[in-house]
Structure 1
Amino acid sequence: MHRRRRTALTVSAALLVAAPLLAACSNEAHPGAAAVVGEERISMAQLQSRVNEVRSAQQAATAKTDNYGQVVEKTGGLTRDTLQSMVLDRVLHQAAEDAGVTVTRKEIQGLRGELVKQAGSQEALEAGWLQQYNIPPSRIDDSLRTEIEAQKLYQALGADPQTETGQQAFWKALSDASRSLDVDLNPRYGTWDMTKSRRADTVTPWLRQVSGAKEA
């Protein structure tokens, strides 16, 4: 289980790391939406609500140490990272569904129980996931569902997560799901790279030219 868990956490970390700057042409965003994934709109209000959940949890966790400001400073890209996570959760779910993968409540509770034992307590688990992954206590079960879906998708594809070939098969499945869902981000949050199934910051050549001229 430890080996599978490390693999799952590696997947989670890959979903959250900052995307490289990629030059890309973006589609016009749907009015009022932070992103559109298939038939589902992620509204600006929904995105902000998710960010507020994390901030509230961080504030509560740092109430005794009074270092909330430092935590906010370290997670300055929280809004973009949160949108990345919200979109990719949907993409992964689509890829899992396409592969015939399902996750039960019992499986989620089973994994949570194992993680609580590893962490030592429920409070330690919640604190760790908030600090490492910016996941508030109220969203841990949702995150565990994603973890299990990722593990099962590897199995359904007959892919070994410990090999480059297996990882390529996994991310190709996500890429196919991204294309089928036709993910569209609001330009203020960048673009969605269909090949890598991740958010990418938009590079504006004219802005770089103006910046370069000022420096000169």
Structure 2
Amino acid sequence: MNRRTTARRIAGTALAALALAGCGARGGGSPGTAALVGGDRITEQQVQARVTEFRAQAAELPTGQYQEQAGLVGTTVAAMVFDQVAEHAMAGHGLAVSPAEVAAYRADQARTWGGEPALAQMLLLKHAVPAGEIDRYCAEQVGLRKLAEQSGQQLGTTEGNRTVHQLLAQASTELRIAVNPRYGVWDPQQSVLDGPADSWLPATGAAA
């Protein structure tokens, strides 16, 4: 039974990957699919919107502070998939994050980094998080901390990180994620995107 179930999962993922390859190859008015996460579709239009927001904010940084490297689009796809993996893991364990918790975490981080502008710049440069996604990022961090605490661990410790990693791997497997091959392949055990650099994209140089 386990072998048959595994075979069905592999077949389903393979078919989804083939469908995604077709979406990436077709033109037309509707946007292509960047990834399928459970029953949800992340479109290339959504990915490009976040990339555009990121580049616009990076362009406002002082000259020389940011130089775009290959991989930005793939990193964005990976982040958008991971967002849903984390949400699935939390929901599966009956956890939620309130707006008040998000606000408290964000305020604490702002104090740590010397204010909201400094926090926003750090998240932009270190984690490719544009301003419009900061609350989501904060909610995710609070949620990961809750996952660790529910298991009697603390996020940031070896055991806490290992526990959360295992829960995310389980959630990632359950979602049967399929990523458009142009971005790479999702590794459910590591909850990361193994993929090529964005060599198919036009070179942009500095984000300015």
Over the matched positions of the two proteins, sequence identity in percent amounts to: 30
| Residue of structure 1 in register with 2:143 after alignment | 149
Of 10, 14, 18, the match for 1:28: 18
Alignment of 1:8-157 (within 5 A): 27-30=17-20, 31=23, 32-62=32-62, 65=63, 67=64, 71-72=67-68, 75-157=69-151
- Answer whether contact 1:29 1:185 (CA < 8 A) is retained: no
Q: 1:35 aligns to what SS in structure 2?
A: strand
Closer, same or farther: CA 39–78 of 1 in aligned 2, 3 Å: same
Q: TM-score, normalised by structure 2?
A: 0.76
| Residue of structure 1 in register with 2:192 after alignment | 198
| CA distance in structure 1 between the partners assigned to 2:89 and 2:141 by the alignment | 13
| CA distance in structure 2 between the partners assigned to 1:56 and 1:162 by the alignment | 32
Aligned residues: 172
| CA distance in structure 1 between the partners assigned to 2:143 and 2:19 by the alignment | 29
| Residue of structure 1 in register with 2:7 after alignment | none
Deviations 1:121-140 (A, max 9, x none): 22111112112211112211
- Answer whether contact 2:149 2:155 (CA < 8 A) is retained: no
| Residue of structure 2 in register with 1:208 after alignment | none
- Answer whether contact 2:50 2:130 (CA < 8 A) is retained: no
Q: Which amino acid aligns with 1:28?
A: L
- Answer whether contact 1:37 1:90 (CA < 8 A) is retained: yes
Question: Deviation at 1:163?
Answer: 4.7
- Answer whether contact 1:29 1:35 (CA < 8 A) is retained: no
RMSD: 1.9
The alignment status of 1:182 with 2:176, answered yes or no, reads: yes
| CA distance in structure 1 between the partners assigned to 2:153 and 2:18 by the alignment | 36
Q: 1:192 aligns to what SS in structure 2?
A: strand
| CA distance in structure 2 between the partners assigned to 1:103 and 1:57 by the alignment | 27
- Give structure 2 stretches of 5+ with no counterpart: 1-12, 24-31, 197-208
The farther-off stretch of 150-159 and 104-113 is: 150-159
